[in-house]
Amino acid sequence: MVSSIAHPQNDDPFKRVKAISDFVEHGLGISLAVSDANIRKLGKVKNVAVEQYKDRGIVMEKRTYYFEGLQVVANFAKGKDSNGGITEAVVTGPKWNIYKGLGVGTSIDTVVGTLGEPTAKSAKSYEYCGETGVDCAIFDFVRNTVVRITFTYYWD
């Protein structure tokens, strides 16, 4: 099936990479530099799992927030609830409004029509990576329908 949506301009590689980076950065609709409160404003938190690790001598917390149909991973200095950074988000439910309308339940044809050809693909997933090569959106699909979107972000 060919999408009736016009493909983005692909003749300028720089514009294409910028467009993908823009999509990945705005995918969830919240800033990637976050506080605990910003994340909790997304909806009802079912659970938060916390793992501690050391980074350059600072004790850090990797917090995984579980919502219905969404999982958000963010890093914070231990005991701090601000100045955190999102490193991953996994969307599995259709209720989450994803940038450009490319949420769970969308056809993969619509994704390609909006973002162009993926930067990498397999039989069941299309990956779109931006400027860093780490900031990516991975669309997993079954029978042409997106069933999961994984956003990954560089955080230092």
Which architecture, in CATH terms, is 13-152? Sandwich (2.60)
Q: Does residue 17 sit in helix, strand or coil?
A: helix
Q: What is the pTM of this model?
A: 0.89
- Which of these ranges, 7-11, 28-32, 91-95, 150-154, has the smallest mean pLDDT? 7-11
Query: 99 to each of 7, 20, 27, 38, 113, how far by Cα in Å?
Result: 17, 11, 5, 18, 14
Q: Do 28 and 98 touch, CB atoms closer than 8 A?
A: yes
Q: Where are the domains of the chain?
A: 13-152
CB neighbour burial string for 26-47, b if at least 16 within 10 angstroms, e if fewer: ebbeeebebbbebbbebeeeee
pLDDT digit string (tens) for 81-134?
999 999 999 999 999 999 999 999 999 999 999 999 999 999 999 999 988 788
